[in-house]
Every structure is written in structure tokens, then in C-alpha cells.
Structure 1
Amino acid sequence: MDITAVIPSEVNKQAVALWSKAQTDSLLCVKYLTYLYLEDEEKDHIPPRRKRKIRQKRSCWSHDWLQRRKEFGQWENLLQELILEDRTSFRNFLRMDEDLFCELLESIRPRIEKQRTFWREPLEAGLRLSITFRYLATGDNYRSLSFGFRVPPNSISCIVYETCEAIIAEYMDKVIVCPSTAEEWKQVAKGFSRRWQFHHTVGVIDGKHIRMRAPSKSGSYYYNYKDFFSLVLLAVVDSDYKFMFVDVGANGATCDAQVFTNSTLHKALSNNQVRLPPENL
């Protein structure tokens, strides 16, 4: 029904304006309610935020038994006794003689020695080196080593990594030296002829599976035929067991031939960059 037919003509304009305003307000209310409804639905689909874990206050800076390292630690007591009384047991403990240990210690001391600060006394360079060699000799875990040397496991994890890096940086170019001329290869061949009666031999090559913990989501990529996860170490040695070439990093599932094919040694041999002596010499 038309509203102008009921309302007298003199108030038609005012009535129409009020009616239009009421309809507009109704539409606005419907839109607003619809917006609130959709907003609530979106909130229902948003996953709740994880509550931040409240970090507990540290109960102590260092355990009391760790602070008694100088009285009962293996480096401060046991190893010093073995140096004075039983060097054979010292060799069994660290897999090296005391003279070689001291030589290595003095060579890498500037690389592993920490600065003394006001807050705490740093761990000695000898302690760091002995922990590293004991770990490499036995493969023992950090927590077990911490009870013997009285050093926290988290500190041992850093010590082993830093000390190994220091040894590599100090001795890489001094120890692992590959011959670069025909005359140097001839000297290696003479060593095999003289000591092992293997003539025309310039090196012995083999691989070693280094046991490791499988990386996350790696599947069987590092799983070798010996039924454990590993990385492959490929090495070439001379007649005195000295390394001339090392390639590390191939996954354990790779066969020996593929490890050699992917190595830089194979590429150098293929491109005649090794400079081996002629066959008739």
C-alpha cells in the first residue's frame, strides 16, 4: 500500500522522510549484525596462540661437585699422576704419549685458551685438550665425561667442537700434504718398495664409515650396509701411514666406487692434475 494515499497531503513529505529513515536504519542494523556474525566465525577458525613457557629461575649457577674440579677432576689429578708414575696408562687413557700431548697442547694453546674475566676463571687449555682426546678415543657421551672431568655437559659439547677446529686449522697444511710433482710421487713409491715390497705404488686408498646419529627426516640416506648410520671417510696414505688425501662427507648409503667417483681425487686424476710420474719410470 502506498503511504501517501493514507496520510494527508500536507504531511506527505515529512512522513515519507521518516519512513525512508526507518528503512535505512533497519538495513544498517542488518549489515552490522551480519558483520558481527562473520567476525565471530573467523575467530572460531583462528587457532589459539600457544602460551609462552615461563622460564624457571636457575636454582644455582654451578653445582658444588663441579666446583671441586681442582681437587678431584681427572685432568688435575689422575692425568698428572699418570705422567709422573705410569706413562703407559697415560697412553691408554688418551691414545697418545705424554710428549706428543704436550707438543699438541703448546701448538694450539693460543687457539683454545680463553681470556680470564672478573666473573669466572676459564677452563685450562690442557683440560680442554684432554677432554677432546678422551672423547675421540672412547666415543663416550658428554654426560659421562662430565662426571670424570667435572665439567658440565653443555660446556663439553662446545669444547670438543672448538678444539677439533683448532687442531684442523693448526695442522691441516702441515700433516696432510699431497705430492704435487713427479719427483715427490717417486719418493712415495720408493717408500712402498723399501718397506713393503710393493713396487710402482704411490698410495693406498680405502674408506671408513664414521658412525653418526641419523639427521631428522633423512630416512635411509645415511644407512649403510653394516646396519648403522654413517658418513664416509675416503683417505689415501703413504708407506708410513701418513695421510696424503682425505675426503669426508659422503652419505653412508653410497657405494665405494661412487664415493671415489665423486671425490676431488678422481677429478684430478681424470684431468691429469696429479702429475704422476710416467709409466716407464
Structure 2
Amino acid sequence: MSLKSFDELVSTMRSSISKKNTKFRQAISVEERLTVTLRFLVTGARFTALSHQFRMGRTTVSNIIKNTCDALWNVLQPIEMPNPTAQKWQDISNVFYEKTNFPSCIGAVDGKHIRIFSPPHSGSNFFCYKKFFSIVLMAIADANYCFTVIDVGSYGREGDTNIFRQSAFGKKLYDNSLALPDSTCLPNTDGPELPYVLIGDEAFGIHRNLLRPYSSRDLNHSKRIFNYRLSRARRYVECTFGILYKNFKYFMVVSR
């Protein structure tokens, strides 16, 4: 993170995470709180190691990271990842059609397993089919490789379709309470009006506003073309995960 970006973050977060000095002790500064939290997020270091590096108590480090992460989400989420409006969905759909030739697409959805240490007394809840412990990052990406909606923290053993259904966004989708644009005809046609849709892989259940590829069995020419175009649009969420993973590996190498 550049010094300019860090200063901007400090200015944005100062009112949310600053503490008052008392007669008994000097409060830890906003800069130190953000530095400890960013160090933890980048390296994944243990609280004990961070307490030695920053000369703070382990419990102090734990409380700082938890409170600062909560404040970061509460302050930055409305700025960096606001709730999409009908116009925002329309803009996303236009870019998808321009880049992938897939109409009425408001995003590509997929889940990513994030490797973790097994939490105490968690049994097999976090043990996924890839044979390691994980939590699931469920995300929707646009055609500019940006996440528009995320849900993180589900058990690794759960399937993508169940996680999506139980997420706040999934509940709104299945309750038809999202602010989606009105149905429209496909480009260059006078046919029936069709709804705007998310696209996912075979792990997701089909829905009025969620499409998945046809089964690989008995594919005719039209179904093959549909699967090809859907996969071409769906790769954007895969590439967005790849960009996230690449940057994370870079920060891990730099921090060492």
C-alpha cells in the first residue's frame, strides 16, 4: 500500500476507530491500529507474533483487529461496494453483452474455498471436498473483474447452491425482492420479454434469474453454442478470483 493510500485510509477511518486518552494510559493511535490490522490481513500472522512485533498484548492485538475489521466494513462497504440499483444492474449487463455477447447478464457467481486452520471443536464442518479445511467466499463479479456482491464465512463442507440460497443476496433473489431491471426482449428480436439473469456453473440450481449450463449429455448445436457463450461470460468471476489470489501471493512474498 502506498503512503498516499494509507493516509487516505487513516483520514477515512479516524472517526470510527480512534480512542480517547485517559489518566491511566495513552490510547493506541489510528495509524497503529490500521497497521496492525493490515499486517494481519496481508500475512495471516498469529496474534502472538504480532504482539511481539508491535509490543502490544495478545488480547489487545485481537481486539484491535476485530474492531478495526468491523469498522472497515461498515465505513467502506457503502463507498466501495454499495447495494446495486436497477441502473447499476443495467450498466453491468451492457458491459457483459459488449464483451461476451451474452445478453441480460447482471453478473457471474461462484464460490471459492479459502484455506484455514481447523477452528477448535468444529468437527468436520470446515472440511471440504478438496481435503482441507476452508471457509467459502461466495461472490458475484461483473465484466470489469470487480466484485459487486460477496458473502464469506460459510462452512467448507457446504455446496455452492446451499450457500448461495442462504446468503442475504440469495434470499432476496429467490424472494424476487431485488431491484432488478424490468424484463426485456433479446437484442435484435421481437420475441417474448426475458428477465435479467446471473450465470453460474453446474453446482447452482436453475432459477428464473439464475442460469447454468446444459448437461453435457445429448447436446445439440444450439445447446453447445449456449454453453460456450455462458462459459465465456462466467469466466469473469473465475478470473476475478485469480486476480485476488495472485495479489494475495504477491503481498505474502513481499511481507516475508
Q: TM-score range by the shorter chain?
A: 0.5 to 0.7
Aligned pairs for 1:95-174 (under 5 A) are: 96-174=1-79
Q: Does 1:229 align with 2:133?
A: yes
* Percent sequence identity over aligned pairs: 33
Structure 2 residue aligned with 1:240: 144
User: What is the match of residue 191 of structure 1?
Assistant: 95
Q: CA deviation at 1:280?
A: 1.4
Tell me the secondary structure at the aligned position of residue 155 of structure 1.
Answer: helix
Distance 2:65 2:39 in 1: 10
Distance 1:165 1:271 in 2: 28
Normalised to the residue count of structure 1, the TM-score between the two structures is: 0.59
- How far apart are the structure 2 equivalents of 1:188 and 1:164? 29
- Decide whether the 8 Å contact of 1:176 with 1:242 is kept in 2: no
Write the distance in 2 (CA, Å) between the matches of 1:277 and 1:107. Answer: 37
CA distance in 1: counterparts of 2:100 and 2:165, whole angstroms: 28
Residues in 1 aligned to 2:54 and 2:80: alpha-carbon distance in whole angstroms: 30
Cα deviations by residue, 1:165-206 (Å, 9 ceiling, x for unpaired): 11112122222223232x322211223345x44532321222
- Map of 2:214 onto structure 1: none
Q: 1:229 to 1:246 in 2, by over 3 A?
A: same
Change in Cα spacing, 1:100 to 1:276, as seen in structure 2 (3 Å) is same
Distance 1:240 1:99, change over 3 A: farther
1:199 partner letter = F
Give matches, 1:59-70, under 5 Å.
none
Q: Which runs of 5+ in 2 are unaligned?
A: 187-256
Higher Cα radius of gyration: 1
Greater share of helix: 1
> What runs of 5+ residues in structure 1 fail to find an aligned partner?
1-95
Distance 1:193 1:97 in 2: 35
How many residues align? The count is 184
**C-alpha distance after superposition, 1:88-143 (max 9, x if no partner):** xxxxxxxx222222111111111211111122212111011011011101111122
Which of these residues, 134, 156, 159, is aligned with residue 252 of structure 1?
A: 156
**What SS does structure 2 have at the residue aligned with 1:202?**
strand
- Among 205, 211, 225, the alignment partner of 2:115 is 211
* Aligned counterparts of 2:31 and 2:149: Cα–Cα separation in 1: 29
Question: Offset of 1:219 from its aligned partner?
Answer: 1.6
Question: In 1, Cα distance between the equivalents of 2:95 and 2:8?
Answer: 27
